[in-house]
Structure 1
Amino acid sequence: MNLEEYQYIWTNEREDHVLVIVNGGGYAIVNRADKMALIIEDDEIYEAVIEKMLDNGCEVLERL
């Protein structure tokens, strides 16, 4: 998998996806419409998606 496969998260579906702060200071990527977390098994891609979301102004929540 590569980063481009997740581009929809911070572009077309930016309003649907948020970052939720979790214990330990990390983030969970959550679709707010269906309240489902996105699991990305590749740690490097996961971190890159979070960085792109933050860079593109995706909303960060303390909780849903």
Structure 2
Amino acid sequence: MKQTKLDSKSIQWIKDNPKEFTEELIRKSKLVNKFSNELEPYRIKKDKEGYQKLFKELLKKEEEKEWKKE
């Protein structure tokens, strides 16, 4: 898997909006903690493709749940 680098526009936004960036990072970390146990088998098997696919699906579901609560 290739590591993507942030472009200069994204870096500038982070520098200009550190509070919003930090809040979003914390929010996503809490969501990931909710389903990290489901990802564990993929991590142990070192199945990066399966891990990434399941991660995206689970993150999307958790974000939808969060939006419904608000």
Q: Which protein, 1 or 2, shows the higher relative CO under an 8 Å CA cutoff with sep ≥ 6?
A: 1
Q: TM-score scaled by structure 2? A: 0.31
Greater strand fraction, Structure 1 or Structure 2: 1
Greater helix fraction, Structure 1 or Structure 2: 2
Q: TM-score scaled by structure 1? A: 0.33
